[in-house]
Structure 1
Amino acid sequence: MTAPKFIRTCSIWRALEVVGDTSVLLILEASWIGARRFDEFRTRTGLLQTLLSDRLKRLVAAGVMEKRLYSEAPPRFEYRMTQKGRDLYWPALMMLRWERRWATTEGKLQLRLRHRTCGHIFDPVPTCLKCGDEIGARDVDWTEGPGVGWMAARYSRRRQQRHAAEAASSLMVDVAQITGDRWASLVLRSIFTGLRRFDEILGDTAMATNILSERLSWLTAQGVIRTHEVGGRRFEYRLTEKGIDYYPVLLMLLQWGDKYYVSPEGPPLLLRHKSHGHDLEPAVTCSCCSQPVEPHDVTFEVIEAPAPALQPAG
């Protein structure tokens, strides 16, 4: 029997065990914009019936969604977010923010958000609530927390599903390919924590070498990371500005993982706001009134992607 490989305990890893799947992200996105019933999810996501059924079951088992009976004859069900699912709102908003900044909008849905608290159309902003400053990767330092340790890397088998996001009429096509690919997100987690060489990332993630090679090549092709020579034939992987701006997604996933999957000892990582020297208190706030935004305080308008123009006959 092969000995288990071990990786650092990490709330991001635990969060990605639930949401690090492109099909799951498409389902959650559809739920945010109003899908409740199976056929509505299928229409919005474009997922095959068997795949959709499997992912809905996983989300129910994880406590992110609940299945409710709404008709007894014949029995019919709908799927609604639990509080645990609603707490994924901030990671979802950070994904939307990244998509707006770095991905093309051609052929995609657009979402206009309005904050009921102030009445304005707003953009979501990653913020430290203790000081009110916007935060990014360069503003945050970290130390090991009381829950740091090592755990067996039990990777469930998942097929690569980047095509699922590309095929769907989605709000977040590009970012869903990253967040929905758990291995790609774990590579970025490693680089954000200062592990930049192939062997360092390999040891941190415990993934197979061929999988790591493919993810590094793909992230490089997407312009999220770049190679940097460090002498001789050696090189390391560094984040581009596009990659650095992905940090708030991981930050909010970490916070969600800390809330629902933290060990009894405490969080594996403790975050500090560099410029002020205090503990980081991350939140997503409104760009207009600077108040934290919650699902029940936000209304939205979905703007469907325009149909492609017909080409004149040759």
Structure 2
Amino acid sequence: MRRTSFDGWPCSIARTVDILGDGWTLLVLREVFYGESRFDGFIGSLGIARNTLADRLRRLEDAGLLERRVYRTEPVRHEYLPTEKGRDFFGVLAAINAWGDRWLAGEEGVPVTMRHTACDHDTQPQVVCSSCGEPLRHADVAVRTGPGYPARLLERPDVQARFGVAPNR
């Protein structure tokens, strides 16, 4: 089955989904942040099929989120470590976790808590404005085209309506 690619779309969400658009990929990254780095460790913690895991690790490596390193030479064994790009994805997983804690945790409470070791307190991640520090809420955010938005699409009426762009005349 051929996979749909969103790589060329003028949208960072679509491009990210192109790399991370299935549950296994996100769970592999979760395990990396929990400290797992070895193929058999992922198998044990996730119960994922070997071929599926190999595909997700290859995809994450190709996308530059994980780096494969040899940790044993006889036989050759690799570990998978987050790159800077991969480490930067932690905030996304933390935000997904916070949403799940709020909306999906049962009466028994949240399944995993995050402790901010710098201040030694449990924490709930928040997405905040980089300028004023206020939480970002949908009602308080307007979207507009950025410098990387394809000029050829700006003439489309649906794009003009979505982003409030005046047609070029």
Percent identity for Structure 1 against Structure 2 = 36
Aligned partners of 2:14 and 2:133: how far apart in 1? 28
Please list every run of 5 or more consecutive structure 2 residues that lacks an aligned counterpart in the other structure: 1-5, 153-160, 164-169
Checking the alignment, whether the CA contact within 8 Å between 1:8 and 1:150 is kept in structure 2 is: no
Distance 1:121 1:109, change over 3 A: closer
CA RMSD of aligned residues (A): 2.6
Aligned partners of 1:137 and 1:12: how far apart in 2? 15
Q: What's 1:302 paired with?
A: none
Q: What's 2:31 paired with?
A: 30
TM-score calculated relative to the size of structure 2:
0.78
Aligned partners of 1:52 and 1:21: how far apart in 2? 12
Deviation readout 1:238-294 (Å, 9 max, x if unpaired): xxxxxxxxxxxxxxxxxxxxxxxxxxxxxxx9xxxxxxxxxxxxxxxxxxxxxxxxx
Structure 1's consecutive aligned runs of 4 or more residues displaced over 3 angstroms after TM superposition are 104-109
Q: What's 1:116 paired with?
A: 117
Q: CA deviation at 1:149?
A: 2.3
Q: CA deviation at 1:38?
A: 0.6
Checking the alignment, whether the CA contact within 8 Å between 1:8 and 1:148 is kept in structure 2 is: no
Aligned partners of 1:109 and 1:76: how far apart in 2? 36
Checking the alignment, whether the CA contact within 8 Å between 1:126 and 1:134 is kept in structure 2 is: yes
1:139 aligns with 2:137: no
Distance 1:86 1:13, change over 3 A: same
Aligned partners of 1:48 and 1:105: how far apart in 2? 29
Q: What's 2:48 paired with?
A: 47
Aligned partners of 2:146 and 2:59: how far apart in 1? 30
Aligned partners of 1:37 and 1:109: how far apart in 2? 27
Checking the alignment, whether the CA contact within 8 Å between 1:37 and 1:78 is kept in structure 2 is: yes
TM-score calculated relative to the size of structure 1:
0.44
Q: CA deviation at 1:70?
A: 0.6
Q: Specify which structure has the bigger relative contact order, considering alpha-carbon pairs within 8 angstroms and separated by 6 or more residues.
A: 1
User: Amino acid of the residue matched to residue 25 of structure 1?
Assistant: L
Please list every run of 5 or more consecutive structure 1 residues that lacks an aligned counterpart in the other structure: 1-5, 152-193, 196-268, 270-314
1:21 aligns with 2:26: no
Alignment partner of 1:121: what SS? strand
User: Amino acid of the residue matched to residue 53 of structure 1?
Assistant: A
For these two proteins, the number of residue pairs brought into alignment is: 149
Q: CA deviation at 1:108?
A: 9.9
Aligned partners of 1:46 and 1:137: how far apart in 2? 36
Distance 1:108 1:73, change over 3 A: farther
Aligned partners of 1:114 and 1:136: how far apart in 2? 24
Pairing 1:185-224 to 2, within 5 Å after superposition: none
Aligned partners of 2:79 and 2:60: how far apart in 1? 13
Q: What's 1:71 paired with?
A: 72
Aligned partners of 2:42 and 2:144: how far apart in 1? 41
Aligned partners of 2:126 and 2:12: how far apart in 1? 22
Higher relative strand content? 1
